Amino acid sequence: MPFALLILTATLLLGFILSRKFPKKILIIWGVITMFSIAPLFTWLVAISYGVMVGEGFAAVAVMGIMFPVIFLIGIGILAAGIYKNVTGENF
């Protein structure tokens, strides 16, 4: 569990650094980080903590099954907004 928390913290730090370095691509950066880092790691941390607290492994799987797709779809939306912004040149 500490290893996942360390990786999640490192990718969030990387996201902040890249956001400052490339301000025009901020939505693309955070969309990718949300999909491939925040969604799986944060979901796993929350689900395992909930499963241990409740004492039921199936509850952890259910939480993972609900949280992961929702957060992943949010990441896809952020990424799509960033791509749309770069293609059309709109400012939000």
pTM: 0.88
Write the pLDDT tens digit of every residue in 42-65: 999 999 999 999 999 999 999 999
What is the spatial distance between Cα 1 and Cα 44, in angstroms, rounded to a whole number? 9
What CA–CA distance (Å, rounded) separates 82 from 28? 5
For the packed helices 39-54 and 2-21, what is the interaxial angle rounded to 10 degrees? 150
Q: Which pLDDT does position 88 carry in this prediction? A: 81
Domain boundaries in the chain?
A: 2-88
CA distance 1 to 7: 10
Condensed to tens digits (0 to 9), the pLDDT of residues 59-90 reads 999 999 999 999 999 999 999 999 998 888 77
Cβ neighbours of 63 (radius 10 Å): 19
